[in-house]
Amino acid sequence: MDDIYDRVWRYDQVSKVEDWQPFNRSVNIDCGSTNDSYKLPSKVLISAAQSLNGSFALNFSVSDWGGTLEKSFTFYVYFHFAEIEQLLPGQKRVIDITLNDETILKEPLALEYLKPQTVSAVTNRSDIPFSISATLESDAPPILNAFEIYRFVSPLISPTDQVDVDAILDIKITYKISKVDWQGDPCVPEEHAWQGLNCRYGIDESNARITSLDLSGNDLSGSIPEFLAGLTKLRVLILSSNKLAGSIPKALEDKPDLQISLDDNPGLCSRDSCKKHKFVVPVTVAVLVLTVIILVISLGIWIFKLKKKKVDSTVSTKQEASEYSRNRAFSYSEILEITDNFQNLIGHGGFGKVYFGTLKNNTPVAVKLLSQLSMQGHREFRSEVELLMVVHHRHLVSLIGYFEGSGVRALIYEYMANCDLHQHLSGNKAGALKWKDRLQIAVDAAHGLDYLHNGCKPAIVHRDLKASNILLDKNMESKIADFGLSRAFANDIDSHVSTRPAGTFGYLDPEFQNSGNLTKGSDVYSFGIILLELITGKPAAKRQPDHTFSLLLQWVTLRLGGKDIESIIDPGLQGQYSSDSAWKFLEIAVSCTAPSAIQRPDISQVVFELRECLAMEISLGKITSHNTNSSSNSMDMSTSKFDSGFSTLSGR
């Protein structure tokens, strides 16, 4: 069954366990309409187990059920309840829960009809002994709809000490260092430590510390900043073969255990030797220099005034974007005010929770708060902030601001009122999108991806394109979101990016599993899967009752030999689409999902083809009902015809 958090739910034969009686009801529980952040699939909640009667409890132990869990760990247990039985008026079901023979509720829990409720607890016992019983005032036996058990695994290595993090970020900003791998935690994980850094682990309460910094041959200019001394555990500093000038900061000269290499910096001198230099300038030359300076300043003021008249709200250059983003840093008190103390939860993902908020000018925003338990957050946070400081496009979700401090990180985005594409293609909104709307969404998103691939220098690979990362604003205009896994090519010549695993099952380029390389072609593959979701209304991957997965691409491939588009297209459209545009759209989608990246089209070509597809639909004047006979006559979509179409699209 579908689960937005990719949890695997198992139905055990509870009837084999004494006092556990399974039952279910054909009721509708809409988890999306509540503030329930656990988001259990409705199929899980409409089934439950109950005891024989109110006098019996539901008792559980891992060992009693034939299972085993590793010892010496902390376990988090989540009990999920939903009243699926319509009790008589005035009756209620009230339960109590004990774990390790201790009550975990401050007061008994009264279940409400069709309302999901979750209770969590922590235990160090690997057998997880719990009991759910009915209280004396309960009119029905105790029930349990589902429960989860998680083992807590503490990080193997603590993150880099914050003092070192602050210092190295100051270095990055001062020298405008744009190395691709200079993002995230500088030292952790060790295999992804920033280039030029050496770190030691286990110093000072186990935090990683920077002990060596090599910035030689990086064309650095200006003076050596004194804040380098903030790297208190630094033992080696290599700044040779640069264009540094001025004196060596006293704070660095006074560090007896620091080895500094400053060779091949002609303008550099020690503090004492710099004081001995005397500069004599003839009066006539000095006057000439002063005149030139005045002219330059005057010209600069005139240019500034001229530019000021033309400047609008768009930040176009990297420097301007960086300054804009830096000026939009928020304080924690502002974050609390914007979100009304995190009252309105609107989403949840691997990064953390997302809250609705409102700025002082009444602009609605979405605030993405990094979870303290997130295993991916720090690197992704840095990546997303740095990318969105310089990446701006109509079809990319805009970053309004950010906050980082006191162990808390948050990103403030423009609010996308119509949620994400995945929600519109599943659940209660399934089939609601009209065919032309789907085409327009595809065109918009393709424009955004084209900007990342071909409009950014260096090019950016998103690495996690999926329907839930295509967001829709109040006008149903689509924008690509979540740059948390993005990577930029080092230069235009690079053909791939070797990196750690990323992406989502069902959307992930099959070539990545063999080579470990993510390319622009990998994004095109993921985008092709999204196009298939738009045309079929089906998810990219669906879990089967036997816990295996069926993939959308395989499902479509099995039907490509037929001549009837109705066997593939979303039945929720009820025939309201043009056969010609539907076939062309399918052709584009399948070309994007070719087995090899070199067979796939560049996203710029996909944009062109999708726009033609949309124009074909618009040219009809209005969407008419599908006519099977006319579609078969107008376009012979045999297997050979498909192959020809794909080679045309991919031939570049």
CA distance 453 to 395: 13
Specify the pLDDT at position 317: 34
Does 3.30.70.1290 match the CATH number of domain 318-393+400-413?
no
pLDDT tens profile 431-480: 578 999 999 999 999 999 998 888 887 788 888 899 999 999 999 999 99
Question: Is the pLDDT reported for residue 311 higher than 50?
Answer: no
Contact 466, 526 (CB under 8 A): yes
Q: Which of 134, 123, 152 is CA-nearest to residue 50?
A: 134
Contact 333, 408 (CB under 8 A): no
461: helix, strand or coil: strand
Specify the pLDDT at position 230: 79
Averaged over 56-81, what is the pLDDT? Answer: 83
Q: Which of 552, 583, 253, 559 is CA-nearest to residue 425?
A: 552
Copy the structure tokens of residue 586.
Answer: 């399918």
330: helix, strand or coil: coil
CATH classification for the domain delimited by 158-276, as one of 3.40.50.261, 3.40.50.11030, 3.40.640.10, 3.80.10.10: 3.80.10.10
List the catalytic residues: 464
DSSP code of 635? -
CA angle 604, 183, 253 (to 5 degrees): 140
Out of 340-354, 374-388, 573-587, which region has the weakest mean confidence (pLDDT)? 374-388
Architecture of domain 14-152: Sandwich (2.60)
Averaged over 79-108, what is the pLDDT? Answer: 91
pLDDT tens profile 17-45: 567 888 888 888 766 555 667 888 888 88
Domain chopping of the chain, boundaries = 14-152, 158-276, 318-393+400-413, 421-650
Copy the structure tokens of residue 194.
Answer: 């920033």
Proportion of the chain above pLDDT 90, given as a percent: 23
The mean pLDDT value of the chain amounts to 77
Buried b (16+ CB within 10 A) or exposed e, 399-417: bbbbbbeeeebbbbbbbbe
Q: Which of 417, 645, 612, 421 is CA-nearest to residue 533?
A: 421
pLDDT tens profile 313-359: 333 333 333 333 333 678 888 998 999 988 889 887 666 789 999 99
Helix (H), strand (E) at residue 303: helix 283-310
Whether residue 41 has a cis bond before it, omega within 30° of 0: no
With a threshold of 0.75, does the pTM exceed it?
no
Q: Which of 96, 46, 31, 70 is CA-nearest to residue 149?
A: 70
Architecture of domain 421-650: Orthogonal Bundle (1.10)
Residue predicted with more confidence, 224 or 142: 142
Helix (H), strand (E) at residue 318: helix 318-327
